[in-house]
Structure 1
Amino acid sequence: MGVYVARIARRFPRATAMVCLLLAAFVAWRAFRAWVGVPALGPTAGYSTPVYDRTGLRLRDLPSRTGTRGQAVPLSQVSPRFLLSIQVSEDRHFRAHDGVDRGALLRALGQNLLHRRRVSGASTLTQQLVKNLDGATQRRTIGQKLWEMAAAQNLEAAHSKDEILESYVNHLGFGHGLVGIDAAARGYFGVPPASLSWGEAAFLAVLPRAPSRLDPYRHPERVRSRQRVLLRQLHAEGLLGPAELEAALGEPLTIHPLSAPPRRGRFVAAALHARPGPKAASSTVHLTLDASLQADAQAELAEMLLVLRPSHASGVAAVVVDNATSEVLAWASASEAEASHVDLVLARHSPGSLLKPFVYGLAFQQGLSADALLVDAPMAIGGRDGTYAPQNFDGTSRGLVPARSALAESLNLPVLRLAQELTLGRVAWFLERVGLPPMTPSREGLPLVLGSASVSLAELAVAYGTLARGGIYAPLRFEVQAPRSWERRMSSRAAAQVTSVLADARLRLPLLHGALDVPFSVALKTGTSAGFHDAWAVLYTPQRTVAVWVGNPSGAPMAPGSTGGRLAVPIA
């Protein structure tokens, strides 16, 4: 056998050399392909983050860090019209080649040599996908082109044509930050990719080749011209009948106005900030929000701004929490200062009397009876800034009053004496335990109990949720999959005593001016900061906690008499 081969080699030296060269090239190419490896058909960094409410309703898509938007969809959810259009536009022989179109490659090479410049390319659809997967812009060197060809062949060997096509249409850039056919169909035409007409499909199929030069907003006629050419190519290929061609050429296309990517949103920002780990958005965000309740709350607050104008209030916020899960169901705010980016649910203000129930809760926990008599009489307290002489809201004093009545009527003098007995340090410690922010008794002094420290609506919802759960603390949960954290921080007896007082409709009736009339038992506490800067109301049942704030985002005072009972309770 070896002698026979040797004879052939001596007789046909050139042919033998050519065969050896081809064999060497084949082996080298196989080794090169093995070195290049198979690109992973993973998600693109340009995909956005879909946001869903608690029922699975898709609320919005958050842009990626690069500002692009898009979501991968299976091939079954893409119109066959677009799939045919993109293949005819970009790679007519996609179903036939192995990742490299040798005929197109030879043709392009000949044309480029003839004109001594690059006049045409031969990249297949698979090679374009390799570029997108690699994050490259344009590969121009011979080495880069060879790497691309090898990776494309490896991709074809490892995946089916449909898998490659699916990844390709999901990685395509269509301009204006739209990545993938789903984002393009919805962004330009407002329809899902499965519903694209022939005219729309061909229109979109020509965009990826030159998204800037074929900008639908700046150069619509350029795009229509390319679209018509592609439609006629589809007809010539037998993929589009005469009637369909005529209809597609005459189809009026309405491009949706270019809209900015949706902002993250205040609740989503709060949800991501609350995550114990990395703050970046994940592939999906499942919020605890109830979209219907959220929309109703937002609309109600917007309407209330008009009602609140005579009271010189320009901002209002509300939060609704499911006490059984500590999940936030609604997180809404409205302000006449449209340019304001402050989240009024998180903004801190003076809580007025809203801290008083927790002072009583601590006292009840340490053995005080709700029927114990407390002193309601004038007092004077010395301090570095002079004598502090607090008064009740109405300027009167009642002598001895039961603790139950002192809490229900929100009297200042008894709770101040109670805080002195408990010590301010212990009061501040207890306030933090139930969910309120850290406070500094040495700086705030005794007025801390009456609202000299600042708290947010969200923090108050946590604290009153502790009461609603019978003394069990739980931080707010913004995402359905967020971990639960429960801890008893108040005795059930003390929480029940506070709730019993706050739910006594007879005791609170004189304070609310008839603002609350519901057919079920509800615990309620209002708060009004000094100078009428803030008006609050927190209502809770075993099922829900609702907290409302009214005021001015600027901190300006409202009209005299703007109390929590008058302004905030009707909203709650």
Structure 2
Amino acid sequence: MSSRWWRYPLLAFLALGFVFSAAIMLAGILAYPDLPSLEVLTDYRPKIPLRVYTTEGALIGEFGEERRALIKIGDVPKPMKLAILAAEDDRFYSHGGIDYMGVLRAALANLTAGGAREGASTITMQVARNFFLSGEKTLTRKFSEVLLALKIEHYLSKDQILELYVNQIYLGQRAYGFSAAAQTYFGRPLERLTVAEAAMLAGLPKAPSRYNPVVNPKRAKIRQHYVLRRMHDLKYITDAEYQAALAQPLAVKREVHNVEVNADYVAEMVRQAMFERYQEAIYSSGMKVYTTLRKVDQEAANQALRQGVLDYDRRHGYRGPESFVDLPVRAANLEELLEDALADADTSNGLVPAIVLEASLKQVKCYIKGGETVQISNEGLKFVLKTLSDNASPKTRLRRGALIRVQKDDKSGWQILQRPQIESALVSVVPQDGAIRALVGGFDFNRSKFNHVMQAWRQPGSSFKPFIYSAALEKGLTAATVINDAPIVVDAAQTGGQVWEPKNYENDYDGPMRLRTALTKSKNLVSIRVLQSIGPSYAQDYITRFGFSPEQHPPYLTMALGAGSVTPMQMAAAYSVFANGGYRTQPYLIDRIVDARGTLLVQAKPKRAGDDAERVIDARNAFIMTSIMRDVVRFGTGARAMQLKRQDLAGKTGTTNDQVDAWFTGFNPGLVAIAWIGFDQPRSMGGSETGAQAALPIWMGYMGKVLKGVPEVDLVIPEGVATVKINPQSGHRVPDGSEGILEYFYQENVPAEQTGFFEGLFGGGGKSAEEVKDQLF
């Protein structure tokens, strides 16, 4: 009897185990009906951000608390799926929601290990926790998690569960799901990731903040190696694939932008418009907005504006380092000190912050934010060479600790530049319907959200003259009307202020000349006499046809030189009237809006020139003005544009007093583009910084790329236009058989033949010699 004493404790232990198991089963039976409904899983509707695209579908912006991009399990590439299973649950397809083998393995590991405790949550349990439960580590929560996992396994297939996991799990940087994370960390879709990159993402669910490769690259690398080792041990990858993945460097995006095309100003314009219409719902309902932007146009605009601004900056010299940092000569934690010093210095449109470590006339060694150390020499130092001299001012001299800006050029390597102070804007539209093809509101959206295309009210200078000349054509003047380019004194009543003695830009005067020549050469004195002839009040009313507000253009003679206020977008709409033959079209940005399921919500229906758009000027007027502005590009102030080797370009330079604003406003029959440059706080850009010098190169940089390969379009002479041979000095028609030049006229304004000395010297079609003499001299 005594030899069987052990049976009683064993029976008691078994009884306790039975009672404990029965209690758990009873608790489960009682709790099961109260578990959350799985409707949220079967009708999965995650918070998907508002996404904004180009017309072709390239992403330019997203807005929402969570970055998400849903993907079907069948579209998840095999390496990604295997990496997830290796990292989180390699027995996923064989267990029923609870991996008892995994529980036992984790228990043994936790008993023997002294470090971090190992968990045993399956993918199904993680789905249950992510959708329904809190993250607190309590026995009650764990019990509910187990029951929910069993319920989920009962109602959903394994692939359905894995699909939910792939789309729902949080992976850091506001990215939810592996598809969004692929774009967030690597800037590529999931299917283009390598095994090494897939392993890095698969390692994130365990602790997204701890293993974030942006914040903790070293820890992320350790975790990635663990996942790769698991994949190798499980025979998911071969020896060669394993070694190749270990050796592959990871190019993680440090600045997290999921966009494919940089169009921050456009994205913000769309966000504001969508919020006004749909309110807070836009941030979670998954709506997609397709804009009228074209990817190639926007990229060309970005590059052209950036290059134009940097070229201006180079012309005006290096201003010195942004600041100085005290760096000890020797420090064990030097890299940490450097990163702390650069923490608040963000990259500005490709200009990367860096700190100088060593500097000499021949070489500068600097530490770039993110950990790279580079040596810059030769061409890379050209811009800052004067500040490397011992004679340089202490405020501008490059020395150890200087905070500078660098960029990597594909041709010349690293070079030292500076963050520009000047601003610029570029916008292009299709004149036939107003579709906006490109819009850049400033040099760097992250530095300034102010959208200069829409919000900057600036003086247009001479780029406004075509509207005055267009008004003159309606008043009976012609392109052949001769007007004197000579000094003039305007009294205060005609300027709205004080006595005015305007001058031409070159401070020279060429005497009597035709209107065509005057606009081609941008003669100020002729423009003033033209406005004086037609009357400022008439011109103020006339320009409203182009969309300008009369309040912004007081009826004084200064209007002839563009002393009013316009925005680049207004100029784009106004010049479209010339480009499309006389119709007013409204620039628009949003082409269509669809919901998360792809259902069309809104489709733009723009009015088109020649169809339902309003005609605001005579087709003959638009034709003659366009022909004159083609001469501006061929022979006048915009002649630099002939480097594009096209004959169908027209436009006008614009420079305001003291070179405060510079413009080039130009077009061909299919595209209008407006380029502006100036300081936010208006001040002179420098004596030589005219529209032709500062703005035209930006316009050319854009148009040169987007019109490459596009056939040229000839001007079609509209009905009612007469082509007449005239005397280039007098503007009068010459007798048949005589020498002269061709000019275009309204049929009713064809000039008479030259008859007398005064008419031969000062005449012009459409007005008598006496009228011309009285009004213009």
TM-score with structure 1 setting the length: 0.73
Residue correspondence of structure 1 range 263-274 to structure 2 within 5 A: 265-273=264-272
2:34 counterpart residue number: 32
Q: Is 1:251 paired with 2:362?
A: no
Residue 390 of structure 2 is matched in structure 1 by none
From 120, 128, 131, the counterpart of 2:129: 131
Secondary structure, counterpart of 1:504 in structure 2 = helix
Asked if 1:535 is matched to 2:662, the reply is yes
Compute the displacement of 1:168 (Å).
0.7
1:469 aligns with 2:590: no
1:434 corresponds in structure 2 to 546
Cα shift readout 1:376-419 (whole Å, capped 9, x = no counterpart): 775434289754446463686979x9877776666123224534
Tell whether the 8 Å contact from 1:317 to 1:548 is kept in structure 2 after alignment: yes
Provide the rounded CA distance (Å) in 1 between the counterparts of 2:271 and 2:34.
45
Answer with 446-455 or 506-515: which moved more.
Answer: 506-515
User: Aligned equivalents of 1:227 and 1:435: distance in 2?
Assistant: 59
Deviations 1:459-513 (A, max 9, x none): 2111111332333333323344262333878635535404413423696466427
Moved more, 444-453 or 158-167: 444-453
Contact 1:69 1:177 in 2 (8 A): yes
Looking at structure 1, the residues matched to 89 and 423 of structure 2 have their Cα atoms a distance apart, in angstroms, of 58
- Return 542-551 or 510-519, whichever deviates more: 510-519
The alignment status of 1:494 with 2:618, answered yes or no, reads yes
Q: How far is the alpha carbon of 1:138 from its aligned partner?
A: 0.2
Partner secondary structure for residue 546 of structure 1: strand
Distance 1:195 1:549, change over 3 A: closer
1:84 and 2:87 correspond: no
Given that residues 89 and 206 in structure 1 are in contact (C-alpha distance below 8 angstroms), is that contact kept between their aligned partners in structure 2? yes
Distance 1:440 1:145, change over 3 A: same
1:512 and 2:637 equivalent? yes
What runs of 5+ residues in structure 2 fail to find an aligned partner? Answer: 1-18, 317-420, 593-602, 701-777
Q: 1:111-126 residue pairs with structure 2 within 5 A?
A: 123-126=121-124
Aligned partner of 1:8 in structure 2 is none
Deviation track 1:179-237 (CA, whole Å, cap 9, x = no partner) reads: 32234445556765445565554444333112233444676665566566656655665
Q: Is structure 2 residue 286 aligned with structure 1 residue 288?
A: no
Q: Does 1:369 align with 2:476?
A: yes
In 1, Cα distance between the equivalents of 2:27 and 2:638? 93
User: How large is the Cα RMSD of the aligned pairs?
Assistant: 5.0
TM-score (normalised: structure 2):
0.56
In 2 relative to 1, CA 460–215 (structure 1 residues): closer, same or farther, beyond 3 Å? closer
Letter in 1 for 2:581: G
Superposed CA offset, 1:333-355 (max 9, x none): 77699966654434332101333
> Could you tell me which amino acid in structure 1 is paired with residue 683 of structure 2?
A
Deviating more after overlay: 473-482 vs 528-537: 473-482
Aligned counterparts of 2:445 and 2:178: Cα–Cα separation in 1: 38
Q: Which amino acid in the other structure matches residue 478 of structure 2?
A: D
AA matched with 1:54: T
2:536 equivalent among 406, 409, 420: 420
> 1:455 and 1:253 mapped to 2: Cα distance?
54
Q: Conserved in 2, the CA contact under 8 Å of 1:471 and 1:489?
A: no
Identity across matched positions, percent: 25
> Do the aligned partners of 2:578 and 2:625 also contact (CA within 8 Å) in 1?
no
Give the direction of change, closer, same or farther, for the CA distance of 1:390–1:41 in structure 2 (3 Å limit): farther
Structure 1 unmatched runs, 5+: 1-16
Question: How far apart in 1 are the matches of 2:508 and 2:218?
Answer: 76
- Where relative contact order (Cα < 8 A, 6+ residues apart) is larger, the structure is 1
Task: Quote how far apart the aligned CAs of 1:438 are.
Answer: 6.7
Q: How many residues align?
A: 538
Question: How do 1:13-24 and structure 2 match up within 5 A?
Answer: none
For 1:404 and 1:246, the matched residues in 2 are separated by 71
Kindly state the Cα deviation for residue 109 of structure 1 after the two structures are TM-superposed: 10
- The answer to whether structure 1 residue 353 and structure 2 residue 444 are counterparts is no
Amino acid at match of 2:164: S
Equivalent positions of 1:216-231 (< 5 A) are 216=213
The more displaced of 497-506 and 94-103 is 94-103
**2:207 is aligned with 1:207:** no
What residue number does 2:177 align with? 180
- Out of 488-497 and 475-484, give the one that drifted further: 488-497
| Contact kept in structure 2, 1:38 and 1:151, CA below 8 Å | no
Question: Retained in 1: the 8 A contact 2:51–2:63?
Answer: no
Give the Å deviation of 1:253.
4.2
In the alignment, the residues of structure 2 paired with residue 87 and residue 297 of structure 1 have an alpha-carbon distance, to the nearest angstrom, of 45
Distance in 2 separating the partners of 1:77 and 1:36: 24
Please name the residue that 2:325 is paired with.
none
In structure 2, do the counterparts of structure 1 residues 514 and 360 end up closer, same or farther at CA, with 3 Å as the change threshold? closer
| Secondary structure at 1:486 match in 2 | coil
Question: Cα offset for 1:273?
Answer: 4.0
